[in-house]
Structure 1
Amino acid sequence: MQCRRRLAPLLRAPPPKTLLPRLLSRLVSSSSPSSPPPSSGGGDEAGDGSVAGVAVKQVTRGNLAEALEELRARVRDAAFVGIDLEMSGVTSAPWRDTFELDRADVRYLKLRDSAKRFAVLQLGVCPFRWDPAKSAFVAHPHNFFIFPRKELPYDSSSHEFLCQTTSLDFLAKHQFDFNTCFHEGISYLSRAQEEEALQKLNVLHHDGLSAFPNTSKQEEDVQLKSTADLLFSERMKIRFNEWRDAISTNPRVDNHKLGSNKFTTNQFQTVFFKMRPAIMLDGFTSHQLKLIQQVLRKNFRDLMYVSTFGEDETSEKRVVYTDNNEDSILLMKDVQEDLLRSRKVKVESAIGIRHVIDLIASERKLIVGHSCFLDIAQVYSKFIGPLPSSIKDFALAINRIFPHVVDTRHLMSASDAVQHLMRQKSKALSSAFSLLCPAFHSTAGEASIPAPVRIEVEADETMLSCFASGAKHEAGYDAFMTGCVFAQLCAHIGVKFEDFTPKENLEMNKKLKKYINLLPPSFNSGTVLDLRTGMERPDACYKLRYPAAVHDNIVLIWGFQSGLSAKDIKGCICKVFGPASVTTVFSIDSTAVLIQFSKQESVNDFLDLKATLEKQDSAISVLHPLSTILEGGQTRAANYDTYRDICSSSVTKYFFADQANAVCSASDTELRGENVDASDAPGTNSVLDETARTLVKQAEGTQHSSKKQDATDISCQDILDVLQDGKTLFGKQTRRT
């Protein structure tokens, strides 16, 4: 019985603090495919499986400092770091999507527009450390909530960003916590914003020092318009005079005497400031404070009005006694130095989430992302500064900050072994994760492959309240999935982690090195960008859906009738230029198309012919096959460089035709690159006149040969044949000129 009593408290005692995280770590570890961890019940989209519970650390502005300190050690020991972002949107208009026909500079302009306009709502960071004793990677996923807000009181700028409804709806369907994001999200300053803020502080500090002791000469006097102002000013003058006399006649006055009832009231509290006697002013209106400053300027050379800010940002007003003019100057310098230091502390605090980016950059670790070009652009735009104007400058700038970056989507395509493994599989992150990491993501009804690399998730033993079970499309969990997929892909291309030591640099591995710093700008670009050189090269594994783009052969057409399809436009052009004249027709949206001709000279021929037809008011303009495209009088056309200029504009309209008209509205003539206006081309009108005369002659000949038949019975084919002859003659004469 006594033994049972002694054991009872032990049986009721809670488990040690270190036991729960160890159990959690074991539950989420991928020890073997045959014994997967219990499912958390979180469903994958489209019902394709469930995700096992993974502890992801949730970081807000309330626990950023502690999380940052812990993350610093995790990143330092990591072999690589997975990253992911969740954003408020991707494209501001459908035509700002990247297309296969986009040139590299146009594609970059679209991505830069997205990074500039949309906000980052979450940043996922997951360091992966190789543990030789366990022969496994140990992951530490972190999910940072981000919300840009005004942190500096003297900064007049404010954050503005777009929200794409489809993106927000997508996040909401995956239980994104908008309340935590907006209320507790961590703000930030980019490196450029920090530098600008510090420059402003230095200017304010310099102006504050230079303004003294000439402030009294620059201040405008307050007009004493009322009896109350006169009485108040006189009363303040008497009060300050009595207080100063008490100080000057007794230089050894102590704090007890200064705090006597004679000089201390609710509005006058006698204190010491910078080792000098002072009066704390409290309860005065802004107008009364101006009157007090005027009284001091005009009557007291040894009393200084000093305004500072307390720890809670409340303004504190004091009148400080100084021995002489030199002491006054020294006091103001001290005040300005304190103000500068406190403001610099606020700037340092306002850096916020950028401390995480600076940490990753300083450690120069291998960064792993999935389809991460836009993520990297967002990181640069939000935390470094405005994006460079060219894609080459952007690539080189990223390489200086993050010297080792790898994209798992590109890694899936680059290796024959992985391509065989991923055959007929989607390259989306969740699909790759379910296939390559079955211990974390079991897919119902579909066979998965054993994971060759073991991965464990380790939770912080002291702050379990900050952890939550990760879910797909949460940045922290997606960063974890990205790292898991990367580890498995490395094993499939021949990287042997069992020979890897924590001191080795994974990015120097011979099997992996050739895939690093090669990023596809978009999933349909058909190219990879080398961050080391800033040059793009074709992606041999990408299968083009359209013939290879020759951008000098492309014409942009917009503003045609709403019922006209891309196929209809191609048919009209082929009737004039021949059936093989057009190699590609691509719909930008319902209001614009890109037409690629087989010959470069056809671009100028088309633009000149269009301009001439629009200026002619004759039968040829009505009967010409291009009249279908030109119907309505709003159709415009230009070369590919104009398309680039339209995409580079800061203006954003939903429909491309509206965008193009807004950008081109400043010009009275169509933007056609270096093309000569058709009306100025020698012989153009004569060619069309000749075509019209030929048409009339053929009509007359037909009427003469069949007098009983009306002239209007000329077949459509006859008209088209004559128009084709006119087009051929027009082309020859244009080239001769």
Structure 2
Amino acid sequence: MIRQWLLWAVPKTLTLVRRYRPFSSSSSGGGVVMKRVTRANFESALEGLRAQVQEADFVAIDLEMTGVTSAPWRECFEFDRADVRYLKVKDSAEKFAVVQIGVCPFRWDPSRGSFLAYPHNFFIFPRKELPFDGPSHEFLCQTTSMNFLAKYQFDFNTCIHEGISYLSRVQEAEALNKLSSAYENELTNSINTSGENLEIPIVSTADLLFTERIKNKFHEWRNRITESSCAECYVKEKTEHVMTQFQTIFFKMRPAVTLNGFNSHQMKLIQLVLRKHFKDLVFIHAQGEEVMLERKVVYTDSEEDKALLMREVLEDLHRSKEARVRSAVGFRHVIDFLVSEQKLIVGHNCLLDIAHVYSKFFGPLPSSMMEFALSIHENFPNIVDTKHLLNSSHVLQYLMKKNSKSLSSAFSLLCPEASSDSPKSAHSYVKFEVQTDETGLSNWTSGAKHEAGYDAFMTGCVFAQACAHLGIKFDLDSPLTNLATNDKLQGYINHLYPSWNSGTVIDLSTGFEKAESNYKRKYPTVLFSKVVLIWGFPSKFKPKDLKDCISKVFGAGSVTSIFFLDYTASLVQFSKEEYVNDFLMLKDILERNDNDPISVLHPLAELLDGGNTHAADYDTYRQICSAPASKVLFADQAEAAGIRWKTLAGCQNSEAWEATSMNGSSTFTGVRSHELPNTHQVSCEDILDSLYAAR
């Protein structure tokens, strides 16, 4: 079957065309020509990318982040349930920053018989662009990730100083709502009708002299306005050399002066003078050049004219602030038109990338995997994970043999002509041409591995080559049909790995996980109802010690597997579900009778030594993972999550737990096992029996 399939692929040479720039796949570092995008050239790059995406057959993406896991125990393990795995992905996307995004549209050109690739490397930085946008952004940096970026010559200076900022959809909506509310309030309070009752706060003799002088100047200026035409007034001022602070201008077809050279205290005095002595003069903040606000005094001939002026000024300011919000959207414009174009999106092991896209550009991540998956599917209806493609296709598995399924390994093996790390081959199936233009040559660089733009290019090449191996034909002089609807890809679209060791894939169209048939588990299949969480035990305990300790009580075959989260916590899977409750009940009784000779001699006494050992069912593990803190040690995380009790048996209501922790209660003690009704109570006789069994 495999040999027959291999004959279907049409051999083609894989090459990279050097256009206008002296870069090629064979150059040092194996780079290709790649557009480097910062905030300086973002607008122009955006327009070009928009046209390229519209014509693309698929778009490959890749992200570089400041970290992956906020604590060692937040790594994804085989013992993690689907909801726990999502909580860990969610935590990572919420706490770390994206510093680079690669976007590479690919278009099949039948006249050339090749894919045209347009790799873009965007530097991203969550800069605070709006003065009314709350506090500055904060994010974590993981030392291993930062060292990894530095190892591959990541340009941190460009990222920080020239990175493109962004607002999520939710942040933009909140900013616009704040502006609308502020606009309505300002409009309501724009005219102060109680000016006649205002008193000038005389702080010093200088204030007294200043207010009298400014009052006289405004009297003179208003008299010139009312006694002659504005044009005559303007000429008169020029010939008489009137002080520059009171030269007449026109603002919205009304006589006005721009206030320059006054400090903030003097400005307050001017406003008070105007309100008390001049009902027809209005102090305003008007939008000047660029983003600067200019302070002006405008003459109005009636109360109605004054109200109209204030409305016009406030509308101008509101429109200006709205424009600033729209401008602050930044890189999200790229995400928005990727969504609007509904193109096939290709990533490699990309669930975390997609979670970052949601967190940074859509809004806060949903609380459940299903809600997240369905929302992503609504925005990006077709996503392919090349890691899943390589692992699940028998044809591709045969080609990869036992090679790593990492992106660089797959690229070297499947696309040797584009990789300087592998020997050239005459058996490639797809040709690629990297496209540039003649404008802005300083913005083009030679990309290399672990730059987001280059990794996106590699991802797209691997996908196109994989499509050829799956039997999808790229014919000369024939346009490419929609890949998202191709029958040969239907088993791979919208299936993403939640983690490399989960043994499952997530179907974004349904939100459910399903088992991956060819995954080889390191541990026995986990039945979560049989799992108990233990933390805070003595640091000398090793997995074998813990297993021996428990097996002495429940029997040699009672413990199926043990997984240490770190040296302070472990997940233990029992062979029988009832052992979970028996263990928790027994632990609680032993601790309540810790001075009893029987308890001291019990095999579990060594585990409970020190009085800090806690235990609960698997749901408590999920609850601790959902807490926002990220302490290095799991035992510290449990304490930060507000857990004070030592043993929790039975089924606790998770909503109640979350409500309690959200209320900030530091006295939450949980439900102790002796307070829970249970038909399987452990008595002192049971303790004695377990002692005899231990012998």
Is the pair's TM-score, using the shorter chain for normalization, greater than 0.5? Answer: yes
Verify the 8 A CA contact 1:124 1:479 in the aligned structure 2.
Answer: yes
Verify the 8 A CA contact 1:243 1:263 in the aligned structure 2.
Answer: no
1:519 pairs with 2:489: no
Structure-to-structure mapping, 1:576-655, within 5 angstroms: 576-616=553-593, 617-655=595-633
Does the C-alpha gap of structure 1 residues 322 and 304 become closer, same or farther in structure 2, counting only changes over 3 Å?
same
Does the C-alpha gap of structure 1 residues 88 and 261 become closer, same or farther in structure 2, counting only changes over 3 Å?
farther
SS at match of 1:308: strand
Structure 2 distance, partners of 1:689, 1:115, is: 51
Amino acid at match of 1:165: T
1:89 pairs with 2:67: yes
Structure 2 distance, partners of 1:589, 1:449, is: 49
SS at match of 1:39: coil
Amino acid at match of 1:419: Q
Q: Match of 1:5?
A: none
Q: CA deviation at 1:61?
A: 0.2
Deviation string 1:32-73 (CA, Å, 9 cap, x unpaired) is xxxxx662221xxxxxxxx2x300000000000000000011
1:352 pairs with 2:333: no
Structure 2 distance, partners of 1:274, 1:167, is: 56
Verify the 8 A CA contact 2:245 2:257 in the aligned structure 1.
Answer: no
Larger CA deviation: 497-506 vs 383-392: 497-506
- Consecutive unaligned residues of structure 1, counting only runs of 5 or more, are 1-20, 29-36, 43-50, 695-719, 726-737
Deviation string 1:391-430 (CA, Å, 9 cap, x unpaired) is 0000000011111100000000121111111111001100
Does the C-alpha gap of structure 1 residues 570 and 216 become closer, same or farther in structure 2, counting only changes over 3 Å?
farther
Verify the 8 A CA contact 2:287 2:316 in the aligned structure 1.
Answer: no
Does the C-alpha gap of structure 1 residues 689 and 599 become closer, same or farther in structure 2, counting only changes over 3 Å?
closer
Aligned residue among 58, 82, 98 for 1:80:
58
Verify the 8 A CA contact 2:96 2:141 in the aligned structure 1.
Answer: yes
Deviation string 1:317-339 (CA, Å, 9 cap, x unpaired) is 11101111111111111111111
SS at match of 2:28: strand
Structure 1 distance, partners of 2:212, 2:529, is: 83
Structure 1 distance, partners of 2:383, 2:562, is: 36
Q: Match of 1:105?
A: 83
Structure 2 distance, partners of 1:95, 1:686, is: 32
Q: Match of 1:460?
A: 437
Structure 1 distance, partners of 2:415, 2:541, is: 48
1:24 pairs with 2:19: yes
Amino acid at match of 2:55: D
Structure 2 distance, partners of 1:438, 1:27, is: 20
Q: CA deviation at 1:618?
A: 2.1
Q: CA deviation at 1:23?
A: 4.1
Aligned residue among 315, 328, 331 for 2:306:
328
Q: CA deviation at 1:608?
A: 0.5
Aligned residue among 522, 527, 541 for 2:518:
541
Structure 2 distance, partners of 1:625, 1:514, is: 52
- Return the index of the structure with the highest Cα Rg: 1
1:687 pairs with 2:683: yes
Amino acid at match of 2:58: F
Does the C-alpha gap of structure 1 residues 103 and 218 become closer, same or farther in structure 2, counting only changes over 3 Å?
farther
Structure-to-structure mapping, 1:274-285, within 5 angstroms: 274-285=252-263
Structure 1 distance, partners of 2:155, 2:230, is: 62
Does the C-alpha gap of structure 1 residues 266 and 605 become closer, same or farther in structure 2, counting only changes over 3 Å?
same
Does the C-alpha gap of structure 1 residues 384 and 685 become closer, same or farther in structure 2, counting only changes over 3 Å?
closer
1:70 pairs with 2:40: no
Amino acid at match of 1:722: Y
Does the C-alpha gap of structure 1 residues 223 and 252 become closer, same or farther in structure 2, counting only changes over 3 Å?
closer
Structure 1 distance, partners of 2:420, 2:521, is: 33
Verify the 8 A CA contact 1:664 1:671 in the aligned structure 2.
Answer: no
Structure 2 distance, partners of 1:509, 1:380, is: 27
Structure-to-structure mapping, 1:170-209, within 5 angstroms: 170-209=148-187
Deviation string 1:584-627 (CA, Å, 9 cap, x unpaired) is 10011111100011111111100010111112112222221111
1:58 pairs with 2:36: yes
Verify the 8 A CA contact 1:123 1:475 in the aligned structure 2.
Answer: yes
Q: CA deviation at 1:22?
A: 6.7
Does the C-alpha gap of structure 1 residues 259 and 503 become closer, same or farther in structure 2, counting only changes over 3 Å?
farther
Q: CA deviation at 1:135?
A: 1.0
Verify the 8 A CA contact 2:25 2:419 in the aligned structure 1.
Answer: no
Structure 2 distance, partners of 1:105, 1:449, is: 46
Verify the 8 A CA contact 1:26 1:456 in the aligned structure 2.
Answer: no
Count matched residues.
660
SS at match of 1:319: strand
Q: CA deviation at 1:207?
A: 1.1
Q: Match of 2:543?
A: 566
Q: Match of 2:27?
A: 40
Verify the 8 A CA contact 2:530 2:579 in the aligned structure 1.
Answer: yes
Aligned residue among 444, 449, 454 for 1:472:
449
SS at match of 1:125: strand
1:164 pairs with 2:142: yes
Q: Match of 2:534?
A: 557
SS at match of 1:72: helix
Q: Match of 1:362?
A: 340
- Consecutive unaligned residues of structure 2, counting only runs of 5 or more, are 1-15, 653-670
Q: CA deviation at 1:551?
A: 0.8
Deviation string 1:440-491 (CA, Å, 9 cap, x unpaired) is 11435x7968221111111122222110001100000000000000011111
Amino acid at match of 2:683: V
Q: Percent identity?
A: 56
Q: CA deviation at 1:25?
A: 7.3
Verify the 8 A CA contact 1:255 1:271 in the aligned structure 2.
Answer: no
Deviation string 1:223-274 (CA, Å, 9 cap, x unpaired) is 2132221221111111111111111111353463264365732433321111
1:425 pairs with 2:412: no
Q: Match of 2:658?
A: none
Q: Match of 1:706?
A: none
Q: Match of 1:707?
A: none
Verify the 8 A CA contact 1:136 1:455 in the aligned structure 2.
Answer: yes
TM-score norm. by structure 2 comes to 0.91
Structure-to-structure mapping, 1:310-459, within 5 angstroms: 310-443=288-421, 450-459=427-436
Aligned residue among 501, 505, 509 for 2:482:
505
Larger CA deviation: 576-585 vs 218-227: 218-227
